[in-house]
């Protein structure tokens, strides 16, 4: 049992955890960050997503990579693991939501969020090195043609991304923080952003917030998982005892430390899972709203695969453009680097049917009527080179709850329509895209057979409210019922942004940490 005492222990090192670490250290707090995943440098990342040991997080199979897949009854979730959290595996995209985001959900009446967050969006964009993508590659060009055909060209735009576009592969001194940050190298457009940038061009959190935080004295403890938090005293001194254990070793040693405050920043899957456990044990005063108002961003992930081996969809950054076919819908073409064909293992033709049997029948008909076409598509030499993933997102709102099950969390629909992998609007738009690109639509087996949609942007579960009866945290991200306790990650997002949420998580966390007073040493 350790006698170490910290002012704040931060659980998780993703966007919210990284912001919290830097800003608390700037206010002279002694900070420890505990991260379940490994610490990766540029040279450690896998060359392709076939290198499962470094790409996939599946500890029961001794796989300790940067991406985790979690399946519930109603949703399949892709998330990031490692020092830097989701920034290691996300597609660099820094999008701001439309106005409806600020005016809906449990937080809507707590502040004028659009104006309240504006300076923090600017701060987050600066810290993350947000710039407009200068290169529209093949998948982006096809999306632009689609926008033109639909007479909505003005609603197509290059993405704002967290990438250093210097001279390709040329290393330069820190271009962002007046020499206080690490050296960087120019992006070479390899498309490997989501398997971990091996060329030091992606502005992951270990190259900005976490890097600067460590220079300020913040300690980052990797390969450890927090399993319990107990309240020690109510006078603010050594208020919490935090228990953590090894996350990558067979024999899991437990350690306990003391902290005056705690910041939950493990993302929905980390934070909500832990809060649900603590609510029924050591922190019973947590709100009954824990695990509620979980949102999926109403997403669809649809592969467009071409049999034309001359086409190269892999060149560029992970997401280079975005198109808004209507005010509620957003589409982005997503690419992987050459050789990253792991997803081909679970692909089935994209068909729409009211039940599993009708979909299986339609898939069988597809194979029987077009055997040679599907043979060509399934045997393409380089799946990533000849395919693009169309990420379909909507503002349309529906919510789930994540509740304590027998062995793990379980999902339940609480409002709106049940999440579905079969969105007619998405299929219609993708088919039009395919007419331009010459591709054919596929979805993952969990979607085609079981109608379990996938999302890389799970949100909510510890949302804002004006009281403990309708929220887990207040408008400043403080946890109701406990002192010096905050939640700064995707679980605190209290409405459906309808776009990539990383910038919003960063901005809200910046605002929350701005409310923490300077430490009186």
Active site amino acids: 457
Distance CA 242, CA 33 (A): 12
Sign of CA dihedral 512, 224, 74, 54: positive
Biggest alpha carbon distance in the chain? Answer: 75
User: What is 61-130 written as a DSSP string?
Assistant: GTEE-SEEEEE-SS-EEEEE-STTGGGGTS--B--PPPHHHHTSSTTTTTS-HHHHHHHHHHHHHHHTTE
**Based on C-alpha coordinates, what's the Rg of the chain?**
22
Distance CA 73, CA 93 (A): 28
238-249 burial, b at 16+ Cβ within 10 Å, e below that, comes to ebbbbbbeebbe
Burial of residue 91 (CB within 10 Å: 0-12, 13-18, 19+) is: buried
Describe the crossing of helices 15-26 and 502-514 by its angle, rounded to 10 degrees.
30
- Contact assessment for residue 299 and residue 393, using Cβ atoms and an 8 Å cutoff: yes
Q: Is 235 helix (H, G, I), strand (E, B) or coil?
A: coil
Query: Nearest-CA neighbor of 484 among 24, 173, 2?
Result: 24
Terminal CA-CA length for the chain: 26
Q: Is 255 helix (H, G, I), strand (E, B) or coil?
A: strand
CA distances from 420 to 60, 68, 385, 450, 453 (A): 29, 21, 28, 10, 6
Hunting for tokens 């900070």 — which residue is that?
A: 31
Burial of residue 128 (CB within 10 Å: 0-12, 13-18, 19+) is: buried
Who contacts 305 (Cβ-Cβ below 8 Å, separation ≥6)? 347, 377, 380, 383, 386, 387, 439, 440, 442
- Contact assessment for residue 20 and residue 513, using Cβ atoms and an 8 Å cutoff: yes
**Residue 378 backbone phi and psi in degrees, to 5:** -75, -15
Query: Nearest-CA neighbor of 434 among 300, 254, 247, 308?
Result: 308
Q: Cα 208 vs. chain centroid, distance in angstroms?
A: 18
């Amino acid at each position: 049992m350790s006698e170490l005492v910290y002012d704040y222990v931060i659980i998780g090192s993703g966007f919210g955890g990284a912001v919290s670490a830097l800003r608390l250290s700037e206010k002279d707090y002694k900070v420890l960050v505990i991260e379940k995943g490994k610490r990766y440098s540029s040279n450690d990342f896998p060359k392709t997503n076939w290198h499962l040991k470094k790409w996939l997080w599946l500890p029961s199979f001794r796989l300790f990579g940067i991406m985790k897949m979690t399946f519930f009854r109603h949703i399949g979730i892709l998330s990031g693991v490692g020092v830097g959290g989701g920034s290691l595996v996300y597609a660099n995209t820094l999008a701001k939501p439309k106005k409806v985001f600020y005016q809906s959900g449990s937080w809507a009446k707590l502040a004028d969020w659009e104006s309240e967050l504006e300076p923090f969006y600017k701060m987050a964009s600066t810290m993350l090195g947000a710039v407009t993508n200068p290169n529209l590659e093949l998948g982006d060009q096809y999306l632009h043609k689609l926008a033109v055909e639909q007479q909505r060209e003005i609603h197509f735009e290059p993405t704002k991304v967290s990438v250093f576009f210097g001279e390709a592969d040329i290393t330069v001194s820190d271009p962002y923080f007046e020499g206080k940050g690490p050296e960087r190298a120019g992006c070479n457009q390899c498309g490997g952003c989501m398997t971990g940038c091996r060329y030091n061009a992606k502005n992951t959190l270990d190259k900005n917030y976490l890097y600067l935080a460590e220079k300020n004295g913040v300690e980052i403890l990797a390969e450890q998982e927090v399993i319990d938090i107990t309240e020690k005293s109510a006078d603010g001194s050594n208020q919490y005892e935090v228990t953590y254990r090894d996350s990558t070793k067979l024999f899991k040693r437990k350690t306990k430390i003391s902290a005056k405050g705690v910041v939950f920043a493990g993302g929905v899957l980390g934070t909500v899972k832990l809060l649900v456990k603590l609510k029924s044990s050591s922190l019973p005063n947590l709100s009954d709203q824990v695990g509620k108002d979980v949102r999926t961003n109403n997403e669809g992930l649809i592969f467009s695969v071409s049999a034309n081996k001359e086409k190269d969809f892999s060149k560029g950054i992970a997401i280079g453009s975005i198109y808004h076919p209507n005010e509620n819908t957003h589409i982005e073409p997503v690419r992987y680097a050459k050789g990253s064909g792991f997803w081909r293992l679970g692909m089935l033709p994209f068909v729409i049917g009211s039940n599993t049997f009708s979909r299986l029948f339609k898939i069988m008909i597809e194979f029987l009527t077009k055997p040679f076409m599907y043979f060509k598509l399934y045997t393409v030499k380089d799946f990533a080179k000849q395919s693009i993933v169309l990420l379909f997102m909507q503002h349309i709102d529906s919510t789930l709850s994540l509740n304590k099950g027998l062995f793990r969390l379980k999902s339940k629909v609480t409002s709106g329509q049940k999440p579905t992998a079969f969105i007619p609007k998405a299929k219609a738009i993708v088919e039009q895209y395919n007419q331009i690109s010459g591709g054919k639509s596929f979805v993952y087996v969990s979607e085609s057979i079981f109608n379990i949609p996938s999302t890389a942007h799970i949100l909510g579960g510890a949302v804002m409210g004006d009281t403990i009866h309708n929220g887990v945290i207040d408008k400043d991200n403080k946890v109701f019922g406990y002192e010096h306790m905050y939640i700064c990650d995707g679980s605190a997002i209290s409405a459906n942004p309808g776009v990539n949420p990383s910038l919003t998580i960063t901005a809200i966390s910046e605002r929350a940490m701005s409310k923490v007073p300077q430490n009186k040493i």
